[in-house]
Structure 1
Amino acid sequence: MELNVIGAKPVSVSEAVFGKEFREDLVHQVVVAYRNAGRAGTKAQKSRSDLSGTTKKFKKQKGGGARHGDFRAPIFVGGGVTFAARPRSFAQKVNRKMFRGAMVSILSELNRQGRISVVESFGIEQPKTKQMVAKLAELKAEGRVVLVAENAPEALYLAARNVPYLHVVDVAALDPVSLVGADKIVMTVESLKRIEEWLA
């Protein structure tokens, strides 16, 4: 299959990467796992056994109303938490085949929806936000935009850093969450070939 390149002749790409059917179940699993991997999981609370203080029974068992043991019980202010949270890992296992399959599925669906644009190069040689805004307007890229540029000059990153909802990444930094949430993906032909080598 072929993808149109803005201002140049179309480029041939593998249908195994940009023409697969959409696997919603696989994409959902990989996206959830990717987001969970970014969670710190450091939440912690103290149960009654973690608190300092005496465990002496502060009142007699009978004749004083409710029966109590010590003030560290969860029913008292300053007592322990009943089911105290502990630090935990939210990581989910996703093997390489699943991850690559999800990326192929996402790219194929983006291509079907016309949300992928290909250019020879971005042509940003100076770190000027004005140039980047003009380039995006020329490419009709609006909303959340991801620029995929392999071996991009520093000027491209500097020109893009002050534009809201615009991210510049290389192929190695592509992730399913950014792709799913993007309104437009703009990539260079070089990046396209690297993605094809990676996922084919």
Structure 2
Amino acid sequence: MELRIIDEKGQSTRNLAVSDGLFGREFNEPLVHQVVTAYMANARSGNRKQQDRGEVSHTTHKPWRQKGTGRARAGMSSSPLWRGGGRIFPNSPEENFSQKVNRKMYRAGMASIFSRLASEQHLSVVETIAVDAPKTRQLVQKLKGMGLMDGRVLIITDSLDDNLWLASRNLPNVLVLEPRHVDPVSLIRYDQVVMTQAAVKMVEELFA
């Protein structure tokens, strides 16, 4: 398996030999769905709280007498059957949303995503990507020269310096990550993925 290396003008200079196990797999949609769902679920925090019938602020006075009114029997307005009453099974802050995914499954899911990006020409490799100063304009000009500013761009670099991070911080459609921070949600969320040559080797060590 080979990936093309482009220069600052978006022209292909040469090819880079990469692992077939990471960039040449068939796309496994059910596995990718499971990995992405588990990643997003593990990022959730149990911070929602609902009140049961004992916690809502209602009087315990009986709304009307038991018989003779023609209406249904009612004991108190905090009943879950009433609007504004307590919940029968309320959500608690202790709720756990985490899902377990084996390490082998996670690596296979990441490899499937990388393979789809490579097969659909959404993955590009550059020698290095850097800016001389923390200027957003310089990074925009560099990405435009490569022809990568049409959509959302994910930059995976082997070493994230301050200039590159500060230059990309003000661009809502550009994200810069190191290989150890790459996640499946970011890979499928961005239209184009740009990796440095050294970052490709680091990703192969992590997921191949």
TM-score (norm 1): 0.91
1:163 matched to which residue of 2? 171
Letter in 2 for 1:29: Q
* Structure 1: tracts of 5 or more residues without a match: none
With 56-65 and 150-159 compared, the bigger mean Cα shift is at 56-65
Q: Percent identity?
A: 44
With 164-173 and 45-54 compared, the bigger mean Cα shift is at 45-54
Matches within 5 A, 1:159-198: 159-198=167-206
Is 2:74 aligned against 1:68?
Answer: yes
2:41 matched to which residue of 1? 36
1:46-75 Cα distance to aligned partner (Å, 9 max, x none): 121333666464644222333222232234
Determine which of 102, 116, 129 is the counterpart of 2:123: 116
Cα pair distance change 1:184/1:80, threshold 3 Å: same
2:112 matched to which residue of 1? 105
With 154-163 and 81-90 compared, the bigger mean Cα shift is at 81-90
Aligned length: 200
Question: For the residues of structure 2 that align with 1:163 and 1:46, how far apart are their CA atoms?
Answer: 41
What is the deviation of 1:16?
1.0
Question: For the residues of structure 2 that align with 1:158 and 1:68, how far apart are their CA atoms?
Answer: 62
Question: For the residues of structure 1 that align with 2:79 and 2:64, how far apart are their CA atoms?
Answer: 14
TM-score (norm 2): 0.87
What is the deviation of 1:3?
1.6
RMSD between superposed Cα atoms in Å: 1.9
Cα pair distance change 1:152/1:72, threshold 3 Å: closer
1:27 matched to which residue of 2? 32
